[in-house]
Structure 1
Amino acid sequence: MNYKILCSDLDGTLLTSKSDVSEHTISEIKRIKSQVKIILVSARMPSAMTYIQKDLEVEDQPIICYNGALVLNGNQELSSVHIHTEHLQQIYELAEANNTQLGLYYNNEWYVESDSERVQKEIKYTKSSPVFRPTPETLSDWSAREIGAHKIMLMSTKDDADALYPILEKKLGEYLNLYRSNDTLIEIAPKSVSKLSAIESLLQEGESLEHVISFGDNYNDIDMLQNSGCGVAVGNAREEVKAVANAVTLPNTENGVAHYIKKHLVI
Structure 2
Amino acid sequence: MTPFIVNMKKVGNKLKLIALDMDGTLLSPEKHISQENINAIKKKQSQGDIVMICSGRAPEDIKQILNKYGLDCPLAGSNGTVLEIDSKILESVSMNREDVEEIAQKLDNEQIPYFIYTNQGIFAPDDWSDRVADILEHTEDLTEDAINDIKNVTEKPYRSSLIQFFSNLNHLFLKDHIAFNKFFILTYNKTIKEKLTSLLSRIPNITITTSGPTNIEIMHKDGHKGSGLKKAAEYYNIPLADTVAIGDSYNDIPMLEIAGLSIAMANADNKVKNICNKITLSNSENGVSHALNKLVE
Q: Which band: TM-score by shorter chain?
A: 0.7 to 0.9
**Of 114-123 and 12-21, the range deviating more from structure 2:** 114-123
Q: Deviations over 1:146-193 (max 9, x none)?
A: 533111112243132232111111x21x21011233333111111112
Selected match of 2:287 from 237, 256, 260: 256
SS of equivalent residue, structure 1 residue 83: coil
Question: How far off is 1:215 after superposition?
Answer: 0.1
Q: Which residue of 1 aligns with 2:162?
A: 129
Question: How far off is 1:243 after superposition?
Answer: 0.7
CA distance in 2, matches of 1:102, 1:263: 39
Question: How far off is 1:51 after superposition?
Answer: 2.8
SS of equivalent residue, structure 1 residue 43: coil
Q: Which residue of 2 aligns with 1:197?
A: 227
Given that residues 10 and 42 in structure 1 are in contact (C-alpha distance below 8 angstroms), is that contact kept between their aligned partners in structure 2? yes
Selected match of 1:119 from 154, 173, 194: 154
- Counterpart of 1:14, as a letter, is L
Alignment of 1:31-110 (within 5 A): 31-34=43-46, 35-55=48-68, 57-59=70-72, 61-110=73-122
Given that residues 38 and 58 in structure 1 are in contact (C-alpha distance below 8 angstroms), is that contact kept between their aligned partners in structure 2? no
Question: How far off is 1:235 after superposition?
Answer: 0.5
Unaligned ranges ≥5, structure 2:
1-12, 133-150
SS of equivalent residue, structure 1 residue 16: coil
Question: How far off is 1:110 after superposition?
Answer: 1.1
Overall identity of the aligned pairs, in %: 25
Given that residues 119 and 179 in structure 2 are in contact (C-alpha distance below 8 angstroms), is that contact kept between their aligned partners in structure 1? no
SS of equivalent residue, structure 2 residue 210: strand
- Counterpart of 2:211, as a letter, is S
SS of equivalent residue, structure 1 residue 147: coil
Q: TM-score scaled to structure 1, two decimals? A: 0.88
**Of 140-149 and 62-71, the range deviating more from structure 2:** 140-149
Given that residues 62 and 72 in structure 1 are in contact (C-alpha distance below 8 angstroms), is that contact kept between their aligned partners in structure 2? yes
Q: Which residue of 2 aligns with 1:219?
A: 250
The verdict on how the C-alpha distance between 1:156 and 1:247 changes in structure 2, with shifts beyond 3 A counting, is: closer
Given that residues 249 and 259 in structure 1 are in contact (C-alpha distance below 8 angstroms), is that contact kept between their aligned partners in structure 2? yes
CA distance in 1, matches of 2:77, 2:56: 6
SS of equivalent residue, structure 1 residue 253: coil
- Counterpart of 2:193, as a letter, is A
CA distance in 2, matches of 1:100, 1:166: 15
Question: How far off is 1:72 after superposition?
Answer: 1.2
Q: Which residue of 2 aligns with 1:188?
A: 218
Selected match of 1:165 from 191, 197, 200: 197
CA distance in 1, matches of 2:64, 2:265: 22
RMSD: 2.2
The verdict on how the C-alpha distance between 1:205 and 1:93 changes in structure 2, with shifts beyond 3 A counting, is: closer
SS of equivalent residue, structure 2 residue 32: coil
- Counterpart of 1:64, as a letter, is A
CA distance in 2, matches of 1:29, 1:160: 39
Given that residues 267 and 283 in structure 2 are in contact (C-alpha distance below 8 angstroms), is that contact kept between their aligned partners in structure 1? yes
Q: Deviations over 1:194-250 (max 9, x none)?
A: 212122212246520111111011112112112212100001111111111000111
Aligned pairs, number: 259
SS of equivalent residue, structure 1 residue 33: helix
